[in-house]
Structure 1
Amino acid sequence: MNYEADIAIIGAGPAGSTAAYLLSKVGLKVILIDKCFFPRDKLCGGLVSAKALRLLEKIFDETEESLNQKQIINFSSNKFEFVCKKKSLAKCYTKVPTHFVERTVYDKFLLDKALDSGTKIIYGEEVKKVDLDSNILITSQGNKINSKYIIGADGANSILRKEFEGIGSIDKESWLKNLGFAFETYIAKDKLSFETDTMYLYFGYMKTGYAWVFPNKDKLVVGIGGLLKELNNKDFKTIFNSFLISLGLDKKTVDDYIKDIRGHPIPFGNFIENPVYKNTILIGDAAGLVNPVTGEGIYYAQRSAEIAVDVILKNYNNPGNLVEDYTKNLNLHLMPELLKTRKRRNMYFRIFNNYYLGKIVTFFMFRKVKYV
């Protein structure tokens, strides 16, 4: 089947659905293509930062209160703890809570916003071929989508990014240099003996990365992630196994959880310098726009979607300025923070991987925060 659209968007995660919503809202014909059927789960800690909440209110007019009422926010916690191996660095209580979502619910919520605004979607089909010159997509079922613009919001394994690599627009070696990997699983709250309403960050398990235990309403999200070049998958699993045992789980329970472990590459400081070519734009994880220390991606996915939409609308009838405008706006609004964080990354992990250094630094970091 042939489809015609003003904008074709690959990937219906937070980045793709946000872009689709904003573009459909102004009357453009938008088609989303996603290899999954929704709702679907996604490897992600599910942390929604304060700036992500502000962005949700700005774009969707959804406040913290409305997100709680609609049960989009799964859990909120005012407590967090930094740990080096088994030793606590800081255990604090904050006035402003940290919020967590289940990606199954959150992504479906955003997709429904896009669909309600007029977006059409093709479910369960992968994009197999992209013609960057004619803006034509071919799916795994042989469907052909012809559009004026293409947005790649299809994550760390983006097919559109690989097309950019094919024409030499992106340095593949540079991408792999800062590619991360994460393992994650769900653990029932009653399996652990410590407080399960607290956000925990664990250091000392790997050189450039950390482990986490994030609270949810009825379970815990437990994972580990860091730079892939420093380890191979086998080493990662071994470290994750050790981490789970350190939480107080017995070996049999850990073996059961390891069977259901989920792993996925994540951008970890490999931002693409020019994630735009002719009438095609990369956003979110596909463009490497993820915090290179924390791994936070939701905010950057939705903010880069907003930026891309603004640039497309501004240059809709004059796409010759797209490359310059998108790059300029990323450099203005997102890249300074991300580049500064990447520059300091090694320093951060050297500090928190050392108990005594970490203890001193967290004391000064959180001196205005209530200790518990």
Structure 2
Amino acid sequence: MFYDCVVVGAGPAGSTAAKILSSFGYRVLIIDSKIFPREKLCGGCVSAKIIDYIPQINSLAKASTNKAILSYKKTACLEIESKDPFAYFVERKTFDKYLLDSALENGCEFRNEKLLSLSYDDSGIEVFTNANNYKTIYLIGADGANSIIRKILHIKPKFLVKTLQVETIYYNDSNVNIDIGFKGLNYYWNFPQNGVWGIASTKKNINKLFFKYYGNDMLINPKGYFIPIAFSKKNLGKKNILLVGDAACLADPFSLEGIYNAIFSAHLASASILSYPKNPCQAYSALADKILEENKYSYFISKIVLNFPYFSFFQLSKGNENALADYLIGKKSSKELFWLLLKSLYQKTIK
């Protein structure tokens, strides 16, 4: 069977790319090993920037927030507040199903099949699943953090962040709560809106760290997963094979939010196929400069905060609350915030 494009993965990135290409008349097939709607382990926090691509996000979200409490070793030290929401909370089961249904309504096909392997050369791409094989001109890898396509292309992330997440019955807070207090540890988070607590760490003993921090009371169904991080053009694919979202390791290195960049990268990958069909990966590499630069500076910010958490909160952040709020909303880039923090660091050092 022949398709103009095969999309592997029906999450936000895959469904978005499929919808765009099908709207331009491409014959598109989406394959996924899961039957939708399906459960997806995720905090469900989406940055407000998503409104550029999903204007109706407010009606799709369970809740939103315009206030974050940042703390150091459970000591509240910084409140960030904005007039507009800087984050929305979605239930991935319904959110992803909505995006997939939108793609199907645009004429895409969907098959519940598992990718096994693929072959590719100058004549085209052949995709082999547990049920069929398909020939295609373009392949979009949207198969997530454990991407099979990324492994077939011998592309590796820069590093992996381990996470552990549990459900909780506590819903008595409308803020985003982030706590940082140990070197090499990204953060502990509490999203009451979705009833989840979590930890993100590059350390090995993540389970021990989690229960030491939260305790064993009222914790339900603990589950773990990895978030691959990279900000290199080498992670975007090869020629007619484009990687998007977590398959391309595009989660934000500091916040670890992946949904926005997944959908953003899907728009860029689709535009690359449409505008430069002979070598879309080359066009994609150019268009993705903004994501890669944002992630690079976000990584720099994370290095400052993770290595000097106390100093970052109690010294650098004081007086910069409005700038941090603008960063969360999307009005200020990670590059701008990085240089602002560096300037503050210099000023504090010479005093």
TM-score range, shorter chain: 0.7 to 0.9
Counterpart Cα distance in 1 of 2:21 and 2:298: 31
The alpha carbon displacement at 1:153 in A equals 0.4
Counterpart in the other structure of 1:20: 18
Write the letter of the residue equivalent to 1:330.
Answer: A
Counterpart in the other structure of 1:223: 198
Match of 2:97 among 91, 95, 108: 108
Counterpart Cα distance in 2 of 1:298 and 1:41: 15
- TM-score, length of structure 2 as denominator length: 0.86
Match of 2:228 among 261, 267, 271: 267
Counterpart in the other structure of 1:90: 78
The alpha carbon displacement at 1:348 in A equals 2.0
Counterpart Cα distance in 1 of 2:237 and 2:322: 43
The alpha carbon displacement at 1:73 in A equals 0.7
Match of 1:349 among 306, 309, 320: 306
Extract unaligned runs of 5+ from structure 2: 326-351
Counterpart Cα distance in 2 of 1:283 and 1:50: 20
Counterpart Cα distance in 2 of 1:349 and 1:118: 46
Counterpart in the other structure of 2:62: 74
Counterpart in the other structure of 1:202: 179
Q: Structure 1 segments of 4 or more deviating over 4 A?
A: 367-370
Does the 8 Å contact 1:206/1:226 carry over to 2?
no
**1:68-217 to 2 correspondences below 5 Å:** 68=59, 72-97=60-85, 98-123=87-112, 125-133=113-121, 134-140=124-130, 142-165=131-154, 170=155, 172=156, 175=157, 177-189=158-170, 195-205=172-182, 207-216=184-193
Match of 1:307 among 265, 268, 272: 268
Which deviations, in whole Å up to 9, do the C-alpha atoms of 1:284-325 show, x marking residues without a partner? 111111111110111111111101111101123xx2x32321
Identity of aligned residues (%): 32
What is the root-mean-square deviation in Å for CA atoms of aligned residues? 2.0
**1:11-50 to 2 correspondences below 5 Å:** 11-50=9-48
Extract unaligned runs of 5+ from structure 1: 58-62, 246-250
Counterpart Cα distance in 1 of 2:294 and 2:5: 29
Counterpart Cα distance in 2 of 1:264 and 1:366: 32
Counterpart in the other structure of 2:335: none
- TM-score, length of structure 1 as denominator length: 0.81
Q: 1:241 to 1:115 in 2, by over 3 A?
A: same
The alpha carbon displacement at 1:360 in A equals 2.4
Equivalences, count: 322
Match of 1:280 among 234, 241, 252: 241
Does the 8 Å contact 1:272/1:287 carry over to 2?
no
